[in-house]
Amino acid sequence: MGITLVVLTVLQLLGVLVLWDWGSEAFRQLVVERLINQSPMALIGLVLMYLSSRLEDAGESRTPILWAVCILSGLLAVLLTASLPIAFGGDQILQQQSDQQLAAKKGQLEMARQQSRDPALLQQLIKQAEATGQVPPGATEAQKTQSARAFVERQLSQLEEQFKQAEQTSKVTLSQRRYAGSGGAIVLIVAFTILCLGSVL
């Protein structure tokens, strides 16, 4: 079972590596993401191999399986360590993209707020409402203005809600990448290192 999990991890990585394009930032991020996401399965497989070897060959301190666990654990620890700069770089790129998108949405919101204070906009909305028959017969100018202002307020509320949702989504995405991605890689490096040392000591 342990060997099966390790082999499955290797196959998952090969499925990405066959598309080799290391010069592309997107490809590097994909490789690192796949490595971090699939490493826990390899860790479980190596732990199972370690435990089975210890139980079956309790009298031997260094069996072939333990050496295999040591080599594979060390290799994965090295690969994960090498992937950290790429993972951190991806975090920064994602942060910059998120900041740019939020800045654009905030700019649109501020522009809409400024336009909503323009009396000409209200008059234009009133004329459009009259042309489409949305104004009830006999409505006074004050009622028409109030209706147009209420429409503008609803539009602003929707834009503000969309901005808040985009900001919240951005925070969640960044947090997941940092803690589950980069942070998870650090935890896995420690785990693989301990397993590597423990299998031969």
- The Cα 43–Cα 153 span in angstroms is 55
Query: What does the pLDDT average to over 105-133?
Result: 80
CA dihedral 90, 93, 99, 102 (to 10 degrees): -80
Note whether 27 and 176 are within 8 A (CB): no
- The Cα 16–Cα 34 span in angstroms is 8
Residue from 95, 88, 99 nearest 29 by CA: 88
Residue 137, pLDDT score: 67
- The Cα 112–Cα 159 span in angstroms is 9
pTM of structure: 0.70
Note the pLDDT tens digit of each residue in 171-185.
888 888 888 788 888
Which percentage of the chain shows pLDDT scores above 90? 17
101 pLDDT exceeds 80?
yes
Residue 154, pLDDT score: 86
Q: Which DSSP string do the residues of 82-114 spell out, in sequence order? A: HHHHHHHHHHHHHHHHHHHHHHHHHHHHHHHHH
